């Protein structure tokens, strides 16, 4: 529950769906240094993401994430398929999804599949760009939690 101050005291759980181990390491390190208290759960493919979200197999005890960072180009089950399943499951459709795009065309590509994410963010290319990426995700998160949910 948000109070009158600007800090969010709860730790947010982030599900990072990223096939590149180097990028996963950079994401994780930069989120560790972020202003926002967070826990990053990383999976490398769409099948593991769906198992995590449905709490199956090795993820049976996992809590649902507060936000999903989704790379659309994944081995096995694609990011588009993961996004489609999220939209089709009422219990999962409320989880905010930030699609990691590699170009300005990324949003159009996702939408061309008849899908929509909550946020599109350009995936950093250089290690130094990961800091501004984390800032963008934090701003997105703060915008979500500051939206009036009750009147």
pLDDT tens per residue, range 96-146: 999 988 776 776 777 777 778 888 888 888 878 888 888 888 888 878 766
What pLDDT sits at residue 139?
85
Which residues make beta-bridge pairs with 13?
39
Q: Please name which of 124, 132, 99 lies closest in space to residue 23, comparing C-alpha atoms.
A: 124
The rounded distance, in Å, linking the Cα atoms of 51 and 112 is 26
Asked if residues 99 and 107 have their Cβ atoms less than 8 Å apart, the reply is yes
Are 57 and 31 in contact by the 8 Å Cβ rule? The answer is no
Q: What is the pTM of this model?
A: 0.83
Q: Is the pLDDT of residue 38 over 90?
A: no
């Amino acid at each position: 529950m948000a109070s009158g101050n600007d800090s969010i005291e709860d730790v947010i759980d982030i599900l990072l769906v990223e096939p590149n181990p180097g990028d996963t390491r950079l994401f994780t390190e930069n989120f560790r240094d972020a202003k926002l208290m967070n826990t990053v759960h990383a999976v490398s493919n769409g099948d593991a993401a769906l198992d995590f979200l449905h709490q199956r197999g090795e993820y049976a005890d996992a809590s649902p994430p507060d936000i999903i960072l989704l790379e659309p180009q994944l081995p096995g089950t694609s990011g588009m398929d993961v996004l489609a399943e999220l939209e089709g499951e009422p219990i999962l459709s409320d989880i905010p999804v930030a699609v990691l795009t590699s170009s300005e065309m990324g949003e159009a590509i996702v939408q061309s599949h008849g899908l929509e994410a909550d946020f599109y963010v350009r995936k950093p290319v250089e290690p130094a760009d990961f800091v501004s990426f984390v800032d963008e995700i934090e701003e997105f998160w703060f915008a979500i939690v500051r939206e009036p949910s009750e009147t």
